[in-house]
Amino acid sequence: MKTIGSLCTGYGGLDLAVEQRTGARTVWVSDVDKHANTILEQRFPHADNLGDLKSVDWASVPRVDILTAGYPCQPFSHAGNRKGTDDPRHIFPYIAEGIRVLRPRLLVLENVRGHLSRGFGDVLGALADLGYDARWGVVRASDAGAPHRRERVFIAAADTSDLGHQWRRSTWDWWYGPEDGGLSAAHAGGERHGGGEDGGAVGLMDAADAGGAPQRERAWEVAGDRGAEAASYADGKGLEGHGELHAAPGEVEASAHYRVAWGDYLAAIERWSRVVGRPAPEPTEPGRNGAPRLSPRFVEWMMGLPEGWVTDTGIPHNAQLKALGNGVVPQQAALALSLLGL
């Protein structure tokens, strides 16, 4: 079985998607946040935790086939100070050192869309210097059917050091075999999909953005010549057969379960309910003083996670919201990897 090593793991949303798309198994993770580590201990109990990647002795780390990293977005986010590579939280050089030593066959990286204008060239240049050829794209959570934008850039990079001029076909054929045709030439090199501003926060979209025909048209636009696959994800059809991460898109008559008056958001809520296979929880819950506060279970549902993935781990309310806000929508990542040829 192919193996995955995960850096800046968070709650493991990117790794869920990579496991789903490749059939590989996550064998080690890395995070410094104590609450994230509580989640990882429960959700990836078989995986060792490397801890702070700044102090890892890479020579002692088991080699893996795939390395994933959702490295900190604060240096690149429109919501931050936008210092890019000058931000002390820019830790990609430490990741690059791990790549240099471990030489995984494939890299899967994720960050905010703002990364494209701050530090992206440095990352691509570092990968090229290490002998990796990268392709990338911007995919919105809404392209996978979610009721929020959350634009993210995804990078897939293949090790070309031992393949010479035949690297491209040989590298991508490694995943599916020559009989499946590998990755088509139409998907070679970097591609940029989507547009708009960086959507770091989880905010609802109205029906015109996240439901009905406009969403399908945008899915086709984002996917280019793989538009049918993107549209099927937005409809929930592209998620079958992947275990607990995605319930089969059965008849979830969401509106019958809701006490919330969703108004213009109802179509978006019902659409995502069909994708994840369960209706939306109440968006708020009583706080300590009885006043309503944002419910982590609702945010967990918005992020496309299995029920209880974060909220049943025993970490505090605010820590749940922090973990969820920093995480990856697995369905979005899976769609991005599909569009990138995995």
Contact predicate 97/59, CB 8 Å: no
Q: Distance between CA atoms of 14 and 31, rounded to whole angstroms?
A: 14
Active site residue 8: no
In the chain the beta strands, taken as DSSP E runs, fall at 3-7, 25-29, 48-49, 66-69, 106-112, 132-139, 152-159, 284-286, 292-294
Token pair recorded at residue 162: 């031992």
Q: Distance between CA atoms of 326 and 31, rounded to whole angstroms?
A: 12
Give me the residue label for tokens 């809701």: 258
Q: Distance between CA atoms of 65 and 265, rounded to whole angstroms?
A: 42
Q: Distance between CA atoms of 170 and 309, rounded to whole angstroms?
A: 37
Contact predicate 118/84, CB 8 Å: yes
Active-site residue identified among 4, 40, 73, 321? 73
| CA neighbor of 133 nearest in space, from 181, 111, 166, 101 | 166
| Active site members | 73
